[in-house]
Each structure stands twice: as structure tokens, then as C-alpha cells.
Amino acid sequence: PHSAGSTPGPAAYGRGGEDATTTDANLALGRINRDYFCGGSVEADIPALESALGKLAERMGNAPEDVARGIIRIANSNMVNALKLVSVNRGYDPRDFTLVVFGGGGPMHGVALGQELGVKKVVVPRGAPVFSAWGMMMSDLRRDYFVTRLMESTDREGLDALLSHTMERARAEYAREGFGPDKVSLKPLVRCRYQNQEFAVEVPVPAGPVTDETLTKMVSEFHEIYEREYTYRLAAGVEIIGLHLVAAAEVGKLELVALPKTGAKLEDAVKGRRMVDYATEGRHEATIYDSTKFEPGMAFTGPAVIEDPGTTIVVHPGNRVSIDEFGNTHIETRG
């Protein structure tokens, strides 16, 4: 249950790690290429990997490959539970969404998670290993202002004064940094709760003068949001406990550029084939692809493994894969 970090990291890193990790399990099951470990920059320490799995297998009385499958299943179960916290537990049906996975490990588990949740499509962005850094470069400058103030949901003047003061404060702070009002967007969220209750939800309101209509709509939406979050609503009064203002300023962003087409064929991206253990779906001979040779429009069906210098995409049997114009990998699950 504890991360091995990067030092010592997985046993296969050869840095002294003695406990089997999910990376070790993925390597043992053939999901990660032992001859292309960490994009070929690290030589996998197979004896250390076998020792770590063997030690755990002996304690559990199972074969090492069964232990590796168990590690994958437990890791996937934990991640599914985490995804349910931000979807099902908040009233959202995962089947209505697309799952985006990234990083070095996300694409190895993404399809399994999607199928468990019933998600119909999993997308792996081009540049998935550095997707978080790319996201920071694409983000606006943002500040969040939180003000606690207890008032009745009918207090139009009080809420209007609170909102006006907080928005003016945000504009003034951005102005000191050279951002004019036209570059700043304001999104007010009023924190409301049932009277004398503990739990509150945030209700969006217009960034303008508060009117009686604003309050009526706010209370109506509060009931809907609260019921979606907690599965019930009460026949009780509503009170305001504060304001959350999201203030964002536009900054320069990178522009996505479509990839060129050279006419290369899908076969040009095939590196070979090997047996891959899909944990819950058995062992299959998978086609191994080099992601750097993909072009827009290419498509194929799993079982497959897509190898990228910074990550590995595990495509389960029956999954349909296509590459879009920007080089993103779309995987249609059987969820």
C-alpha cells in the first residue's frame, strides 16, 4: 500500500528495491517490454524482480505470476474506487463520460478501469508522459477567493455587497499585475446549506448585480445540486455561509497542430508480437506498436501494446483503437 517512489523504486529499477510494485507486476506479465524498459534508458533488473515476486509468492503460497496478477487487480480496484469518489458518489454516471489517462502508468491501467466503470472510450493524449506539465502551460492564471459570511438566502443586499466587494478586490489585484478587466473572468459560487445543517454545496450565480430573480434561481439550483451530491433534498430553509470567487486571467497558450500524413502504413508501426497476460482476461498474443510511427487515421483492434518512450498503453482484447489528427490515441472499450 506504500509507494516505492523513485528511490529505490520498483525492484526492476535495480536500485535496491526489494518489494514488488505495480511496475514490477506489469513487467512480469509482459505488459511492459523488458527490452524497452523506461524507453530503453534503463536495463530491467530481472533477477531483482523475480526475487521480489518470489518472496511475496512464498509468503502467500501462490505462483509468482498469480501474485503479479493479484497486484494488478488490487491496484485497479483501488483506482476504480478513487474514480467513483469523483463520479458515482457525486451523482455522475461514468458511462456518460470519456476517461482520459496519462503519465507513465495511467495508460497501462486505463482500459481496465474504463471497462470496470462502463466507460465507452479511453483517450491517451499525445505526449501523455508529460501531460501534467503541458497542462500547466495551457492553464490560465487563477486565484480563488473564499469569504465566510452567514446570511439568509433572501438577503439580496448583503449578498450583492459581498459579491461586489470580492470581485473588485480580484480585479484590483490583477490590475496591479498588468491584466485589464477584459482579460479577467469571474465565476462566483455561493456556498449554501440547509439551515442548521453541516454540509454545504456551491451554487453558481451571475457575476453581476444580485436580483430577487438571482436568489430564487440560486435556491432552486441549490436543491438540485445538493440532491445530486447527497442523493436527497429537505423541505427546509436555505442559508448562505459564504462566497467562493474564481478569478482567472488569460495567458498565452500553445496551439495544437495537426500531425502531417506521410502515407505510412500501420504495418510500419509494428515492432513485433509477444504474449501478454491481461490479468482478468488471460494470456493473449498481442501486437506491439511503436507510437512514434503512428499517423492520423491509423486504426486497429486489440489485443495490443503500444510502446512510447515515456509510457506503455495496454490495449485489451476486442478494444478498437484509432489515432486522431493530433496523434491522440482513442480506445473504444467493451464497457
Own/partner contacts of 267-271, CB < 8 Å, gap of 24 or more, are 268/293, 269/293, 269/294, 269/298, 271/307
pLDDT of residue 335: 56
pTM above 0.85, yes or no: no
* Rounded Cα gap, residues 96 and 149, in angstroms: 36
pLDDT of residue 1: 59
pLDDT of residue 315: 97
pLDDT of residue 40: 81
Question: Residue 146 belongs to what H/E stretch?
Answer: strand 141-152
pLDDT of residue 255: 84
| Residue-level pLDDT, tens digit, the chain, 335 residues | 577 887 888 999 989 888 899 999 999 999 999 888 888 888 889 999 999 999 999 999 999 999 999 999 999 999 999 999 989 988 889 999 999 999 988 999 999 999 999 999 999 999 999 999 888 888 889 999 999 999 999 999 999 999 999 999 999 999 999 998 888 999 999 999 999 898 999 999 999 899 999 999 999 999 999 998 888 999 999 999 999 999 999 887 788 889 999 989 999 999 999 999 998 899 999 999 999 999 999 999 999 999 999 999 999 999 999 999 999 999 999 75
pLDDT of residue 37: 87
* Rounded Cα gap, residues 51 and 30, in angstroms: 17
Residues 6+ apart with CB under 8 A from 58: none
Q: What DSSP character marks residue 140?
A: P
pLDDT of residue 55: 92
pLDDT of residue 94: 93
- Asked if residues 94 and 83 have their Cβ atoms less than 8 Å apart, the reply is yes
Could you tell me the three cell numbers for 9? 523504486
